[in-house]
Structure 1
Amino acid sequence: MRTIDWVDGAIELVDQTRLPGDCVFLRIETVADLIGAIRRLAVRGAPALGVAGAMGVALAARTGEPIDALRAARPTAVNLAWGVDEAARHLPDADAVLARALEIRDDDIAACYRMSALGADLVRELTEGPDRSDASGASGGSGGFRRIRVMTICNTGGLAAVERGTALGVVQTLHERGLLAETLALETRPLLQGARLTAWELGRMGAPHRLVVDGVGPYLLARGAADVVLIGADRIAANGDTANKIGSYSLALGARRAGVPFVVVAPETTIDPAITSGDRIEIEDRGPGEVLSIHGVRLAPEGTGAANPAFDVTPHDLITAIVTDRRVIRVDRGETPYESGTA
């Protein structure tokens, strides 16, 4: 199943706000409707947003709508602006714009498969050693080789890309190779992408998994419950600092304390050479409503405010490696995506 595609002159995408209850496809025929779908997270995930941005320009080439608001709809995720810019280079030739958008779609699919393989190879290398059991007694290995326990946050599977995904794509490859013992998926407040989306995808692939509340992640790492932490990224600075779903920084701190490898999986297009370090990454604040209410039911007393940054930044010195579709960057060995702000 593809999360997003171009079908008969329009964009068709999975409405992720309806999952896990209903798998519904939206047909998007205007840039305005696409912006609305992006802002309400009907489509989300850095690679998927890159494809959506390019396909949105293909719509604009037909409707005459402006694209500036589309480019800025999710400011932290660099792939959205990148996809818009890549397709816009071919304006006003609508056929050329669409051809580039479809090329970006196909490149994303291929990139996810390459990341999955590179990441699975790296995870096995990083976790080589004797079998062990986690704090709950679940087996850490069988059949003469080590089976790996993964912890992850948010959703980084096919729903975050076109197919397969980034960090969860690595999990899928480990599962297909018979190397996966279990995935511990953080629920990912406030919108529960882990509970709603990652658990749904893990169930579809038949991979063993458990859901845990966000705050327990570092504690479970300290108890030896996972062998590796795998996350995605929305923007990676030139020095390796990584913006990802809020809660990723806490996992990185917990992983460092526990001596657990912390691996970022994202396509090369998520690396932003213009951003020298993470303190220059714009962090989207989605407003208090998502924190104070769930499905229209208010959780906190009237008069209570809330802070709701959608992302945090993990400093590069807490990251073991960054896996892209082209390479493995061993940040723990002093490697960086770029030695300076330029390629």
Structure 2
Amino acid sequence: MTNTLSLPRSVEWEETHITLLDQQLLPGKVEYIELKTIKDVWDAIVTLKVRGAPAIGMTAAFGLALAAQQYETDSIDEFNELLQKDKDYLASSRPTAVNLFWALERMVNSITNVTSINEAKTTLVHEAIRIQVEDEEVCYKIGDNALSLFKKDDRVMTICNAGSIATAYYGTALAPFHLSRERDIPLQVYACETRPVLQGSRLTAWELQQSGVDVTLITDNMAAHTIKTKQINAIIVGADRIAANGDTANKIGTYGLALLAKAFHIPFYVAAPLSTFDPTIASGEEIPIEERNPEEVTHLHGQQIAPDGIAVFNPAFDVTPNELITAIITDRGILKGNYQEGIQTLFNN
């Protein structure tokens, strides 16, 4: 039996604007907004209306193409200067997820040999669409590879949201669960709520529920007890940046799950496309960790839940060392063992 999925898409290109699923409003409200300027795009990324490393990259690519359509110049040199300025502006929106910088660099490189302004504008739109189409294909392959690691009725834990709305379609860490529904292979998923912004409860639980996946929501501090009492078979997460040695930055709380996986002797998997790898940095020590507004911790739905003036530490990501990772699942295969060599091979092929 095969089930046909109808998953939400996070971002779509229109001729005069970008249509974006506002993830800040989920799960209570499914609303699409129109981004008409580069400032709209920058704001959407910063305020988490769009999140998930691949979706951020796609949105930024469309944003750069949108900005370029509005340039009024007959000079290729001036066009390139404007494009570089807007590229840098969009790159300033979030520091950790490498897909953002990868997509923007790819966009700029796509017009290296163009000979006219019209050609440049058209090429940028086509390149952004190509990035989106490729990401959907990549996510399907990641899901297919990941699903091969699970057995029928396995119980799998995840954190944050590495699903369809974080990518072009299917997702990375959530892709095997969506494919399991298509192929009628039952899996049970336990989703950590993912404080402080609750991507697990607001987004992952909602998305998997829409897909018909058997999903159970837990708070982050229930993870160890849940692994023990529910006999969790594996943990799978996405990634925002993977260093040359396999050290992986992902949503805060991921490192703790990796330590729990080691303690309980269960596999800990990372699922990510090639665009998430950053071979220019040797290890996770070099990955910049974004720190966000303290109000994400001190307030909940606008209601203050902490004392006035309390000091807050609010890192958005943590880094899981490679020795805690059982395998890194990519669209080009599953990496195990020596990640340094495996990642190098990925980029040499």
Kindly state the Cα deviation for residue 51 of structure 1 after the two structures are TM-superposed.
0.7
Q: Which residue of 2 aligns with 1:119?
A: 146
| CA deviation after TM superposition for structure 1 residue 56, in Å | 1.2
Q: Equivalent of 1:324, from 327, 330, 346?
A: 330
Aligned to 1:334: 338
2:264 to 258, 261, 268: 258
Distance 2:32 2:318 in 1: 30
**1:224 Cα deviation (Å)?**
5.2
Equivalent pairs counted in the alignment come to 320
Pairwise CA RMSD: 1.7
The 5 Å alignment of 1:1-343 reads: 1-64=8-71, 66-91=86-111, 93-124=120-151, 146-223=152-229, 225-330=231-336, 333-336=337-340, 337-339=342-344
Partners of 1:222 and 1:254 within 8 A in 2: no
Note the residue ranges of structure 1 that are not aligned, 5 or more in a row: 125-145
Q: Take 1:149 and 1:309, find their aligned partners in 2: how far apart are those partners?
A: 29
Please name the residue that 2:5 is paired with: none
In structure 2, the gaps of 5 or more residues are 1-7, 72-81, 112-116
Contact 2:322 2:339 in 1 (8 A): no
1:63: Cα distance to partner? Answer: 2.5
What one-letter code is carried by the residue in structure 1 that aligns with 2:145? L
Q: Contact between 2:140 and 2:170, CA under 8 Å: does it hold in 1?
A: yes
State the shift of 1:29 in Å: 1.2
> What SS does the aligned partner of 1:183 have?
strand
Task: Verify the 8 A CA contact 1:30 1:63 in the aligned structure 2.
Answer: no
Percent identity (aligned) = 43
Contact 1:148/1:179, CA 8 A, preserved across alignment: no
Deviations 1:286-306 (Å, cap 9, x if unpaired)? Answer: 021100001221100111121
Matches of 2:146 and 2:267 in 1, distance apart? 12
Deviation at 1:339, TM superposition (A): 4.9
Q: Which is further off, 61-70 or 245-254?
A: 61-70
| C-alpha contact (below 8 Å) 1:322/1:328 kept by paired residues | yes
Shift in Å, 1:172: 1.5
What CA distance in whole angstroms lies between the structure 2 residues aligned with 1:90 and 1:176? Answer: 36
TM-score w.r.t. the length of structure 1 is 0.89
Deviates more, 1:113-122 or 1:243-252: 113-122
Bigger Cα displacement from structure 2, 85-94 vs 263-272? 85-94
Contact persistence 2:54–2:166 (CA under 8 A): yes
